[in-house]
Amino acid sequence: MSGGEQTAPPGATQDAPGMFRCFVGLPLPPEWQDRLAALRDELSVSGHASGDVRDPALTDLLRRLRWTPPGNWHLTLRFLGGVPASRCGEVADALKAIPFAPVSLAVGGAGVFPARGAPRVLWLGLARGARECAALAGAVDAALVPLGFAPDDRPFAPHLTLARLREAHRPDRRENDRQRNDHQRHERRGGESPSPPFPRAAWEARDALLAAVDARVSRSASPWPGCTVRDMVLWRSDLGGAHPVYTPLAVLPART
């Protein structure tokens, strides 16, 4: 999220009455929002560059991308889930007690979650600032433990979510049987195999998508600018419309 504060639309939903869906993160500056929007436009099916690999699997992958809307891009430090509205002030106060320096960021390479199998999330990593973000995420966890938020037991992986992928059409039974047999033969040979089985064409399409993102991020004619983030934000997320609406509940300036 960047720029002016977004106002939740009438009728925006909450997880439950009196609960706000909240997360803590770093806002991205307007120049990054603009570059991410341009990346989205270039990688749409209609704007797909003629120099990229054009094959049915890649085209299908591009069609299934559901991009984060411009202005909503951010770097999540901790997703909190449903928080009672009456306790958001306590959460903000706990976050205010965290001393942190401004964070210098440089964009890195593209990736997907999960790393193996059918991708569900397309993201960009960080070439600079990952260690600082991980340390800040750890400080957020520690600050919220006294309020009853258990630390996240998953390793922190700083990333910018570019898009989520709609579920693909499921293959028919014959294709499922073929994939399962290929998977079992590969396992008997002692090799590493994706789990669940994933067709070769889909692997190639995924790799082509990541290569296309990396090529646009790293092009020398228009290098991606670095940035320094000077605030941490506690956001409320409303899911009632076509896209989430993020409303800052507290903006916490860096301080050492």
Walk along the chain (256 residues) and give the pLDDT tens digit of each residue. 333 333 333 333 445 679 999 999 999 999 999 999 999 998 886 555 444 545 788 888 899 999 999 999 999 999 999 999 999 999 999 999 999 999 999 999 999 999 888 899 999 999 999 999 999 999 999 999 999 999 988 899 999 999 999 987 554 445 445 544 543 443 333 444 444 556 888 888 999 999 999 999 998 788 899 999 999 999 999 998 888 999 999 999 999 8
Q: Where are the domains of the chain?
A: 19-253
Q: Is the pTM of this model over 0.75?
A: yes
DSSP result, 70-99: TT--EEEEEEEEEEEGGGHHHHHHHHHT--
- Report yes or no: 206 and 165 within 8 Å, Cβ to Cβ: no
Tokens at residue 115, please? 């790393």
Q: Which CATH class is domain 19-253?
A: alpha beta
Q: How far is CA 155 from CA 57, 77, 108, in A?
A: 31, 12, 19
Burial 168-206 (b: 16+ CB within 10 A, else e): eeeeeeeeeeebeeebeeeeeeeeebbeebbbeebeebb
- Report yes or no: 230 and 102 within 8 Å, Cβ to Cβ: yes
Report the catalytic residues. Answer: 74, 159
